[in-house]
Amino acid sequence: MTPGLTSITFRNKTVSEIVELVKKSGLSSIEWGGDIHCPPNDEESARLAFVQTKKAGLAVSSYGSYFRLGVNNTSEFDAVCATAILLGTDTVRIWAYNKDHDLVTPEEYHNCISEAKTISEIAKKHGITVCFEYHRGTLTRSAVFSKKLIRDIDRENIRLYWQPNPEISHKENCIELETVLPYVVNIHCFDWTWDGKNVRHPLSHGTDEWKNYLLLAQKGNVQNVLIEFVKDDTDAQLYEDAAALCKML
């Protein structure tokens, strides 16, 4: 498993600044985000990110797009795939609708499945694997429904990310990861607790928990473990978190 960073951790930094930060941190890869750093249809930004990442001896782990199943038109997905190709990656992150699974109607769910199959075919033409963000407020809030979603779509190039949910216990998060592990390509890494809102901590605060997650992940086919957000959004905290992650890997 390769340690890396999601570029959206530092939305206020330029592509060059992020590349330099990742290189100094000891991490090995970058997931370039599709909102600020590499928007779809912005070929210049994607080419710049690719060239600078490679020049620094780093890898592009994935393209963190903000294409949302059931919200964006599937006709927009070719541009997402084209951006990923310019970045030199075959992995695209998308979002699974804008509602928790227990709030969707049967019709909404059916439409999402149909759209996912269409997206799968578009991605297949480009040799791309599409991964759903594993996130509250979407169809992938829980492992059981995420697994059902992947099975109902039933396409080899539709997979998942995973990240811990701060609203449930560590034991429950371990069970969630075990449940979806056969489908997990990348993991978003952070240490948060829940106090009516997300509370960020240094990654070292969750060392025991993350050792367990990574031990489980070794049983699957996880490619990248990507730091996503750091306490107080500081460079110093990234360096500390990167050292903690690399030590655990």
| CATH number of residue 41's parent domain | 3.20.20.150
Task: Give the torsion through C-alpha atoms of 79, 14, 138, 95, to 10 deg.
Answer: 20
pLDDT, tens digit, 9 for 90 and up, residues 140-162: 999 999 999 999 999 999 999 99
Specify whether the CB–CB gap between 32 and 11 falls below 8 A: no
Rounded to 10 deg, the angle between the 15-25 and 43-55 helix axes is 30
Longest dimension (CA), the chain: 49
What pLDDT does residue 1 have?
A: 98
Q: Is the pTM of this model over 0.95?
A: yes
What pLDDT does residue 203 have?
A: 98
Q: What is the mean pLDDT of the segment spanning 208-212?
A: 98
What pLDDT does residue 36 have?
A: 97
Specify whether the CB–CB gap between 178 and 192 falls below 8 A: no
Determine the Cα–Cα distance for residues 12 and 97; give it in Å rounded to an integer. Answer: 27
Kindly give the pairing relationship between strand 59-68 and strand 91-95.
parallel
With cut-offs at 50, 70 and 90, classify the pLDDT of residue 88: very high
Domain hosting 53: range is 2-248
Q: What is the mean pLDDT of the segment spanning 211-225?
A: 98
> How many domains is the chain built from?
1
Specify whether the CB–CB gap between 16 and 52 falls below 8 A: yes
